[in-house]
Structure 1
Amino acid sequence: MRCVILSGGSAGGLDWLAGVIRRGDRVICVDRGADYAAKLGLLPDLIIGDMDSLDSQTLLDFSRRGAEIKTFPAEKDETDTTLALAEALAGQPDEVVILGALGTRFDHSLANVHLLRLAGDKGVPAKIINQFNEISLVTPGEPAILKGLPGETFSLLPLTAEVTGVNVTGARWPLRDAVFSIGNPYGISNEVAADRVEISITSGLLLLIKINERGEMNCR
């Protein structure tokens, strides 16, 4: 089972969103993310958050149609998307896809990227996607596989102070037993050289960002 979290940031065009969400996905809306669901004609499984940016009539309509509602106070330690991810992980999904997690609030965008570790600690693959970027986490153990076309761009950035044993094959600039450190972002703008890039690390946490400047990113 795949769980899609629809948060309230910039979510791209409705046609793009409709192409990403699959039939059978469990859909969790974060506060204003329910507005996107309404425009797409989707009935969320759960709407969660402090509801400070969601139209009350939209919330009432979804409640009457059977969507589960979990409301939290505005003053709390967790962000609404953190609460949504905790709910998603409690359902033991095979994968979590987070949409609407990036936008004009850089603090919220960065906080959402950090949430990938929460999923990684539970052993659940998770990614943040918008029309231009797909962000996932590489952890020690099983290599991460990036599929793409030759010439497509991807970047690697450390999420921990240091990442050791970085190996990259299938890329224009391969790496062997490299070390990445915060403050030295030399993993920017590598390129796919084959139909499959393999990335592995020995220790730390590494962000993998696949880029599509044409705005056609999807996760099908």
Structure 2
Amino acid sequence: MTPPKPQPLSRAVIFSAVPVTPAMAAYLHPGDYLVACDAGYRNAALLGVTPDLIVGDFDSAPQPQTSGRTIVLPHVKDDTDTHYAARVLLEQGFRSVTLLGALGGARLEHTLANLHTALFLAKQGVEVLLADERSEVRILCPGRPLTLDRRDWAYLSLFPLEGNLTGVEESGTFYPLKDATLTPDYPLGVSNEFAAPQATLRCKTGWGVVILTRADG
């Protein structure tokens, strides 16, 4: 059964397989469309929610018995389970996607793959957020300012994700930037800090990854 097409600006949440804690329930909103990728259904259960859709090749967890919709993917495929889920949500018209259980864990390559999936969504105009217990990750898009609230974040970092970042501006930060260029071979944008209640980041060309991190301890 095909789910009804949501209205534009509808929110969706993708659960990937990196274990989460109950605190991550703060990222769930009433009415969110929930997609679990393979073992990600365990994270949904931990947070007390039932996925609207489960997708995966189920190489990391048994296929669950559920009355909801399940898409079983082949083991040999180009898309990761999470990227396939992102494509489904894009086709359904979602304009805001949060990924939980997509950072860290034992498989570094999965984190990098999920960052590339976030870039894929951002290039289609989707607002993307990846989060774990200590960090949030967003995509900085050319020509689209990104304003972030200070809250309890200790550090703000910006790295090129595709190409050089040119015309970079950072305001409201301890180390402001003006018409700067960030290149993939020099981490100039690491570990900046908020100097105001909000910080705004911009770039003219390139695509960047923005990471907010809480202090240790």
Structure 2: runs of 5 or more not aligned: 1-9
Match of 2:215 in 1: 213
On the 8 A contact 1:149/1:192 being kept in 2, the answer is no
Match of 2:6 in 1: none
Q: Does 1:34 align with 2:41?
A: yes
Match of 1:16 in 2: 23
CA distance 1:77–1:9, shift in 2 (3 Å): same
SS of the equivalent of 1:163 reads strand
Structure 1: runs of 5 or more not aligned: 216-220
Q: Where do 1:26-65 residues align within 5 Å?
A: 26-56=33-63, 59-60=64-65, 62=66, 64=67
TM-score by length of 1: 0.89
User: Aligned letter for 1:9?
Assistant: V
On the 8 A contact 1:150/1:194 being kept in 2, the answer is no
Q: Aligned-residue CA RMSD in angstroms?
A: 1.6
User: Aligned letter for 2:177?
Assistant: L
1:75 offset after TM fit, Å? 1.0
> Identity across aligned pairs (percent)?
34
Runs of 4+ displaced beyond 3 Å: none
Match of 2:102 in 1: 101
On the 8 A contact 2:154/2:215 being kept in 1, the answer is no
User: Aligned letter for 1:189?
Assistant: S
The match for 1:197 among 193, 196, 199 is 199
Match of 1:2 in 2: 11
**Partner Cα distance (1:18, 1:148) in 2:** 21
Paired residues, what number? 207
CA distance 1:173–1:151, shift in 2 (3 Å): farther
The match for 1:138 among 140, 147, 151 is 140
SS of the equivalent of 2:156 reads strand
Describe the superposition over 1:150-184 as per-residue Cα deviations: whole angstroms up to 9, x where unpaired.
87311010112311000011101100000000110
Q: Does 1:155 align with 2:157?
A: yes
